[in-house]
């Protein structure tokens, strides 16, 4: 009867929930293990100066390849680590690794290059020694504080406690980028009230830019406002020459996207920097770094 079917489907549903939960627990264990055994890696995506075409920064992006599950994207495992309360372990790992890797980039001769590291709001809530952690990582790697940018979302900037920590980090000399701007409830007053060094326009906005006139008006205006506030704009997820040209026309300062390169291992990044230095390669904007 209909009643029986219903009962059956409820049972099936709860089985599925249980299976999903068990898989989550397994992933959690695997992720904690990956932190120890080195299968969690950090790759770096170039951030390119819109006009010189040179790589000025790399964004550090966590990468996880599990032997059984294959590649698990950060969009999946970062929220998992947040949910299970160990995002600060990943944060610490990525921070130390990328500071050391930046030191290596500097030793290779590219001393002007800096690194951009994602920090989640939960990290600020879980660990109360953010400032010391960052100061230590910088000191141990022997790099200048202003060669580090921390990427945070607006939720940090709108909370007075977390914002206070950011101010301390800024006092250290570390730079701050507002990530994923133009998603959610981004507000211009946040920009004015909270001092940040960079603003990152989210990929979803760049995606629809060419087809959407209203968004073009908004982005070009936003870039003007940011510029006058002394904030440099980074457009994320640039995939085509058309998008690049439009962003250049709007006065955008930096671009990042598959048009230039996806995130790569450290050795590949250093090779890209070396290639840029070769004569007759003034622009470096040809998308030659592969995707
Ligand atoms: P995000 O900080 O906004 O990073 C940019 C994301 O856009 C990256 O995805 C990057 O690979 C992707 N991307 C950049 N350009 C293009 C493009 O042209 N086309 C396409 N299709 N994608 C592009 P990814 O690496 O999957 O990271 C997703 C998110 O996971 C990041 O978004 C960030 O919020 C988070 N995340 C990654 N690594 C870390 C980390 O070490 N710590 C924390 N807290 N979060 C991280
Ligand atoms: Mg980011
Ligand atoms: Mg972003
Ligand atoms: Mg994004």
Instruction: Give the pLDDT means over successive 10-residue stretches in the chain (291 positions).
Output: 57 78 87 92 97 96 93 95 92 97 98 96 81 96 98 84 89 95 76 86 94 94 94 97 97 98 98 83 48 41
Classified as helix, coil or strand, 11 is helix
Can you read off the two tokens belonging to residue 148? 């580090």
Q: Which mutation among 203, 244, 255, 289 tests ligand 1's pocket best, with the greatest number of atoms within 8 A of CB?
A: 203
Looking at residue 189, its pLDDT comes to 78
Evaluate: CB of 46 within 6 angstroms of ligand 1: no
Helix (H), strand (E) at residue 233 = strand 232-236
Residue nearest to atom 45 of ligand 1 (CA): 118
116 Cβ partners below 8 Å, 6+ apart? 47, 57, 58, 59, 60, 149, 150, 151, 177, 198
87-109 as b/e: b if 16+ CB within 10 A = bbbbbbbbbbbbbbbbbebbebe
CA 291 – CA 283 distance, rounded (Å): 18
Residue nearest to atom 37 of ligand 1 (CA): 61
Residue nearest to atom 22 of ligand 1 (CA): 237
Evaluate: CB of 118 within 6 angstroms of ligand 1: yes
φ, ψ for residue 256, nearest 5 deg: -145, 135
Ligand 1 atom showing the smallest separation from residue 43 Cα: 25
Evaluate: CB of 150 within 6 angstroms of ligand 1: no
Q: Which residues share a beta bridge with 232?
A: 198
Ligand 1 atom showing the smallest separation from residue 42 Cα: 41
Residues with CB under 5 A from ligand 3 (ion): 179-180, 200, 236
Looking at residue 279, its pLDDT comes to 58
CB contact at 8 A, 49 and 253: yes
Looking at residue 281, its pLDDT comes to 47
């Amino acid at each position: 009867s209909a009643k029986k079917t219903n009962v059956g489907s409820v049972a099936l549903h709860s089985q599925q929930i249980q299976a999903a939960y068990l898989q989550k627990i397994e992933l959690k264990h695997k992720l904690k293990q990956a932190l120890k055994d080195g299968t969690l890696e950090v790759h770096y995506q170039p951030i390119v100066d819109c006009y010189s075409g040179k790589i000025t920064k790399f964004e550090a992006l966590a990468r996880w390849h599990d032997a059984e599950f294959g590649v698990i994207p950060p969009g999946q495992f970062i929220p998992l680590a947040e949910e299970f309360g160990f995002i600060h372990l990943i944060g610490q790992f990525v921070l130390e690794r990328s500071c050391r890797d930046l030191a290596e980039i500097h030793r290779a001769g590219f001393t002007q290059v800096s690194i951009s590291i994602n920090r989640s709001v939960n990290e600020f809530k879980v660990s109360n020694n953010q400032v010391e952690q960052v100061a230590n990582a910088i000191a141990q790697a022997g790099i200048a504080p202003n060669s580090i940018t921390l990427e945070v979302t607006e939720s940090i900037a709108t909370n007075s406690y977390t914002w206070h920590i950011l101010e301390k980090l800024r006092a250290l000399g570390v730079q701050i980028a507002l990530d994923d701007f133009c998603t959610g409830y981004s507000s211009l007053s946040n920009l004015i009230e909270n001092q940040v060094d960079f603003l990152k326009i989210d990929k979803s906005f760049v995606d629809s830019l060419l087809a959407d006139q209203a968004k073009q008006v908004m982005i070009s205006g936003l870039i003007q406002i940011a510029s006058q506030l002394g904030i440099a704009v980074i457009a994320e997820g640039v995939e085509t020459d058309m998008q690049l040209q439009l962003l250049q026309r709007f006065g955008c300062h930096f671009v990042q996207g598959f048009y230039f390169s996806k995130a790569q291992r450290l050795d590949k990044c250093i090779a890209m920097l070396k290639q840029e230095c070769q004569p007759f390669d003034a622009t470096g904007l040809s998308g030659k770094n592969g995707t």
